[in-house]
Amino acid sequence: MTHTASLERDAPTLLRRRPRLPSWSKGLQALDAMAQSYSFRSILGAADAGRSVIWGGWSWESPLTYACDTIPVSYDQLWSEESRESEAIAEDHFQVPSEFCSMIKAMLGRLHIDRDHKIKRILHFGSGCEPIHSVLELAKQDGYDIFTLDTVTAFRSTAKHDADIAFLVEELQRLSHWLTGKPADEDRVALEIRRKNAVLHKVARVLELRARHPLDIPGIHTKQIFMGAMHGFGDLDAFGTVLDTLIAELEELDDEPEAPDYIPVVLAGSVGNIQIFNAIEESNGAIVGWVYHGADTYREDLPPLQALAHYVLDAQSRGDLGEAVGASVAYRRHLVEEEVRKTGARGVISSSITGCPYASLMQQLERDHFNRADIPIITLETDVHREPPTEEQVMRVKAFIEMLS
């Protein structure tokens, strides 16, 4: 039987599987609206209005950034529009090889295009991607003020030393001086940690409910939830209200459980193109677990800057920050395996950006690990552009899901 014939045979099942929330969900509509409002143009508008806006600072360090009355903007906004034009500038003007990471090229080109705009400060986490360091060195020539937050590495949570925490606290104070000209207001940082933790608890509840109804919150909306977990789309309180609505809607569905009729899979990493999500769902697959960074809570029993320091060191030993933090490259596979065990998933989809050396290493480690564990895995690479994925990518996803049936 051909793959097309198989889909036709299962058409009634696929109709039953259509997500129920998108047709009426106020929560998903509000989530979409927030994600759309967090746009490149609105960000530039905030800077034009006199707000303190920086590139970076949206992830684990965001409580301090917000406590400094600064809007942190995630790097993905640098390739959200005109990414092909930005990439062309990186290749033609800066002579970056065409086969190199599309994210790096789009970032470099966009910063060059926008060198006369008001967002001239960039915060970079020193344990991140090395090619980004090169981008930022070139950005200095265009007049950008670059701040690199240095770090240390703890390969085990038990390996955290007092000197490591003290070093990170000193770095965070240095960051506060860069943003405001004065030491951090620790009471304000503590308040921002509590605010973010409150949102993260709601994120955890949404993901818990979604695991039982994985088709009711499609992949693209789940990605929006993870992004909001880090920066709240610039408004944590409003994002928390959106999550409250989603929780109420999912809890109502939870009162009417239904037998699953899909193939459960775990997704590791991000997906740059929503049609990959569509390929999974159209093939009778459902993402029941997702290993992505930034959704763990902060400790509130410590002074706030120490809590931030512990957070990033613990993230390293958990593998929580993907390829963004040292040891996490090696450890993420353990988080993925735990999601497989917890959800009963039949396979793993590992996704990364094409040409990223860190993600390529991580995917090879995951391939070796899950092949030894006899857990089916497929690795995908996508670029940051908005064009549809290739037919080969879609067919690989569909063939993988069909193999798991």
pLDDT tens track for 206-251: 999 988 888 888 888 998 998 899 889 888 999 999 999 999 999 9
- The model carries a pTM of 0.86
pLDDT for residue 356:
76
Q: Return the pLDDT at 17.
A: 41
Which of 189-193, 218-222, 384-388 ranks highest by mean pLDDT? 189-193
Q: What is the pLDDT of residue 253?
A: 81
**What does the pLDDT read at residue 257?**
59
- Does the pLDDT at position 10 exceed 60? no
pLDDT tops 90 at residue 129: no
Query: Stretch 276-295: mean pLDDT, rounded?
Result: 85
Convert the pLDDT of each residue in 53-62 to its tens digit. 999 999 899 9
Q: If pLDDT is split at 50, 70 and 90, which confidence band does 15 have? A: very low
> Over 70: is that where the pLDDT of 22 sits?
no
> For residue 4, what pLDDT band results from cuts at 50, 70 and 90?
very low
DSSP 200-216: HHHHHHHHHHHHHSTTT
